[in-house]
Amino acid sequence: MTALHQYQRLEAAGLWRDGKDAQRREVIIGLRDATIVLSDPKTDMPLTQWSLPAIVRISDVAGFVTFASAEDGLETLEIDDPAMIAAFETLRRVIDRRRRRPGRLRGALIAAAAAAVIAGGAIWLPLRLTSFTAARLPEAARTAIGVLALGDLQKTTGSACNAHMGQIAAQNLARRIDAINPPQILVMRTGLSRATALPGEMILLPAELVSAVDGPDALAGIVLAEMVRARSHDPLADILNHAGFVASLRLLSSGALPNDALAGYGIALAATDPAPLDPALLQAAFAQAKIAAQPYFDLTKDTPTITSPVPTRSDPIVLEDADFLGLQYICDS
């Protein structure tokens, strides 16, 4: 939404209801390029993410304007902040104009998808369409889908652990691994058996694993390995395969998945074996991050043939002792 620079990073409070029978919950609304992010005001953890093109205004009562995430109005957001309401109205006008005059990018995507339909066939096409869609979605849309996937997974795992010192330590670890594009590291209390990546640079770690590792180098290696795995095997492709062919077509045409497209994804993810890692890419990642590789290899008991030099020590250190201890006790809150 390059025409709306004045609203970038705008934030306000609101009341969110994630279903018709759900209790209203206070959230912080963050306006981004193509989405809004609703976060817990106490922990700053994202709760959900809405696609701007799908947002609908449904009522205006006593100074509160209510918006819905889609036409069905199941998930709603009440706002009384004039600046945020004005931003939403401006966005809705811009989006309406763009709907009447579809942009070249969306037209190209739909045309390419149609060409794939004609050339493909019923067996090959669904897989081809999901990989095609995953490769071409903008980062904001990828992040929105990652948040939706996290929401379904949390039906099994519960919310991410959020002890304050542990959250700070997780942020420090992420910046140490990649200072330019740090991942969002989330520690899940239960229901997760292995490290897992989701779109939007999210790395999910089981609490049991975090508390069991011997040191920060091994933990950094686990996160780094999942980042490498996600770059060679896009987790968004798996999500779209779960959502199905029709949902992927709708994503191409409307910019959003149906509300129920990811139902059951968390359970399916827990039962799926991880994609294999490319040893050469993993070694290169350790070298670039300047993180000692051996603690990770000792933990996984799967030392690959070394084809390129890997660091024997982390320089600078991955985490201070206090940070590492805080991360290990992130679920004690």
How many angstroms separate the CA atoms of 306 and 163, rounded?
38
- pLDDT of the residue at 2: 44
Say how many CA atoms lie within 13 Å of 78 toward its Cβ.
13
How many angstroms separate the CA atoms of 269 and 151, rounded?
13
- Please give the residue that has the higher pLDDT: either 329 or 128: 329
- pLDDT of the residue at 104: 52
Give the single-character DSSP code of 313. Answer: S
- pLDDT of the residue at 68: 87
Q: Three-state SS string across 1-12, please?
A: CHHHHHHCCCEE
Close Cβ partners of 210 (under 8 Å, ≥ 6 residues apart): 187, 219, 327, 328, 330
Say how many CA atoms lie within 13 Å of 162 toward its Cβ.
10
If you average pLDDT over residues 194-208, what whole number do you get? 94
- pLDDT of the residue at 3: 43
- Please give the residue that has the higher pLDDT: either 7 or 136: 136
Beta partners for 39?
Answer: 28, 46
One-letter identity of residue 299: L
- Please give the residue that has the higher pLDDT: either 158 or 50: 158
- pLDDT of the residue at 37: 81
- Please give the residue that has the higher pLDDT: either 114 or 265: 265
- pLDDT of the residue at 195: 95
How many angstroms separate the CA atoms of 153 and 313, rounded?
35
Instruction: Yes or no: say if 29 and 11 are a contact pair by the CB < 8 Å rule.
Output: yes
If you average pLDDT over residues 56-75, what whole number do you get? 82
Q: Which whole-number Å values give the CA distances from 45 to 39, 147, 194, in the listed order?
A: 5, 11, 21
Predicted TM-score (pTM) above 0.75: no
The answer on pLDDT for 117 being more than 80 is no
Q: Which whole-number Å values give the CA distances from 297 to 209, 236, 304, in the listed order?
A: 15, 27, 8
Q: How many residues in total does the chain contain? A: 333
- pLDDT of the residue at 304: 67
Tokens of 234: 């896009």
The answer on pLDDT for 125 being more than 80 is no
- pLDDT of the residue at 108: 57
- pLDDT of the residue at 109: 57
- pLDDT of the residue at 127: 57
Q: Which whole-number Å values give the CA distances from 89 to 83, 93, 106, in the listed order?
A: 10, 6, 23
In tens, the pLDDT along 279-325 reads 889 999 999 999 999 999 999 887 666 777 889 999 999 999 999 99
Phi, psi of 93 (to 5 degrees): -65, -45
If you average pLDDT over residues 261-266, what whole number do you get? 89
In tens, the pLDDT along 217-245 reads 999 999 999 999 999 999 998 998 888 88
Beta partners for 236?
Answer: none
pLDDT band at residue 7 under the 50/70/90 scheme: low
pLDDT band at residue 19 under the 50/70/90 scheme: confident
The full DSSP string for 33-65 is: SSEEEEE-TTT--EEEEEEGGG-EEEEEETTEE
- pLDDT of the residue at 118: 45
Percent of the chain with pLDDT over 70: 81
pLDDT band at residue 114 under the 50/70/90 scheme: low
- pLDDT of the residue at 123: 44
- Please give the residue that has the higher pLDDT: either 312 or 130: 312
Percent of the chain with pLDDT over 90: 33
In tens, the pLDDT along 135-189 reads 777 777 888 888 888 888 988 888 889 898 999 999 999 999 999 989 999 999 9
- Please give the residue that has the higher pLDDT: either 247 or 284: 284
Coil, helix or strand for 152?
helix
Tokens of 109: 């995507």
Beta strand 76-79 with 64-68: parallel, antiparallel or unpaired? antiparallel
If you average pLDDT over residues 115-128, what whole number do you get? 50
